[in-house]
Amino acid sequence: MKGGYAGRGGEEMVWRKYTIHTTVSAEEILLSELAELGILGAEIRDRVPLSESEKKEMFIDILPELGPDDGRAELCFYVEILPHDEKERRLSELKKRREDPGVDASYLPNSDNLYTEEEISSLLRELRDRIERMRACCDIGEGRIESSETEDRDWIDSWKSFFHPFSVDDILIKPSWEELPPEAEGKTVIEIDPGTAFGTGRHESTQLCLRSLKKYLRPGMRVLDIGTGSGILGIAALKLGAVSVDATDLDEAAAEAVRENLLANRLSRDRFRLRIGNVIGPEGQELRKELGFSCFDIVLANILAPVIILLSGIAGDFLKPGGVFLCSGILREREEEVLFAFREREALWEILSITHQGEWSGIAVGKKAAEDFCLLQTHQHQPR
């Protein structure tokens, strides 16, 4: 599909990519100019070594390998080109979702990268004028603006060269396109194709969840995976003995990723039921009812601390008494915030374990049995 317009019928997204060829010394001033023009997110490509703090903040599976710094840099930004009516429809839809108190706006698509052809042409003319004026005060190098179109499929194919088999204890995770390595003997093997928007399982937070699953999962249990992505945790649960997995995700791309990964692992779709939607807030009320209350032995959430804090108020609804909520995606510096949310609901939750890997934390909490809950409530309301 040309022109950067992504249809609504399942076609792969096509983006218009603009690259400014410049220098490392001009990066900051160019970013400032882009921000003034309404481009609030840009990708910087240079060979300046990453600091330790930058590495810790990067929520990615594989860090890039950089060559020697040659002073050159590229600033890239992406836009989606839409007809005027379609752009207005999308903006209206995003505005409605942002105003919904039950929706975490940080997970919504960015509305700043939607342009009509006329708007992007005007922006580029102004940007070129500003670059020429900048030459008088700083070294901007070429200053050339290059355009290209990129599809989701380009991203997938480029990452295949970096994703190789690896183990998390006795679980071996391998890309679906590679042969089974000799070291797979005796291990639980999971085949994964991360798809357009999801991780490979190599990230520390995913590994924390996998280890917790091994610790708490027993054969025949029912599992709910909130924010399933590629489905890796749900697939691991099935391979470790879960009788069924229900899962949710906000991203419609998860449906295709999960379908392909179930097929690669020779697992029935009847055992893995995925629903696209939000379980949090008023918007998630119907989905919560559909999933069912007190139905699951384990709830999984490998997301981020702010979302887990919100889930601490509803995850217990899904769990049977004595069930376990396993969560990760929590930076150590935010661990106490998450623990505080569970401790605020001490009548419901018991903290079972806290684990760490790198800069990430995993927390397991148990839903107190009905009799424990009643005893605690009685104790709290005894007259003094």
Give yes or no: residues 169 and 153 share one domain. no
- Would you say the C-alpha torsion 199, 202, 207, 208 has a positive or negative sign? negative
Encode pLDDT of 333-350 as tens digits: 999 999 999 999 999 999
Average pLDDT, the chain: 83
Percent of the chain at pLDDT above 90? 53
CB atoms within 10 A of CB 268: 9
Give yes or no: residues 199 and 223 share one domain. yes
Of residues 156 and 379, the one with the higher pLDDT is 156
Encode pLDDT of 129-183 as tens digits: 999 999 988 899 999 999 987 655 555 555 566 677 788 899 998 887 778 888 7
Give yes or no: residues 321 and 296 share one domain. yes
Give yes or no: residues 41 and 175 share one domain. no
**Domain closes at, from 158, 186, 221:** 158
Give yes or no: residues 19 and 130 share one domain. yes
The range of the structural domain enclosing residue 196 comes to: 163-380
In CATH, what number is assigned to the domain containing residue 187? Answer: 3.40.50.150
Give yes or no: residues 264 and 340 share one domain. yes
pLDDT band at residue 109 using 50, 70 and 90 as cut-offs:
low
Encode pLDDT of 222-264 as tens digits: 999 999 988 999 999 999 999 999 999 988 888 988 999 999 9
Please tell me the pTM assigned to this model.
Answer: 0.61
Give yes or no: residues 131 and 61 share one domain. yes
Count of domains for the chain: 2
**344 found inside a domain:** yes
**4 found inside a domain:** no
**50 found inside a domain:** yes
Give yes or no: residues 279 and 364 share one domain. yes
- Would the pLDDT of 382 be above 50? no
Give yes or no: residues 144 and 220 share one domain. no
Residue type at position 107: Y
d(CA 215, CA 42): 42
**1 found inside a domain:** no
Q: Which long-range contacts (CB under 8 A, 24 or more apart) does 259-262 make?
A: 260/176, 260/193, 260/195, 261/176, 261/191, 261/192, 261/193, 261/230, 261/231, 261/232, 261/235, 262/231, 262/235
Encode pLDDT of 75-103 as tens digits: 999 898 888 888 888 888 878 777 766 55
Give yes or no: residues 103 and 244 share one domain. no
**2 found inside a domain:** no
**Domain closes at, from 136, 158, 180:** 158
Give yes or no: residues 112 and 232 share one domain. no
User: Of 85-94, 192-201, 278-287, where does mean pLDDT reach its minimum?
Assistant: 192-201
DSSP 23: E
**Domain closes at, from 142, 158, 174:** 158
- Would the pLDDT of 10 be above 80? no
Q: What is the pLDDT of residue 110?
A: 61
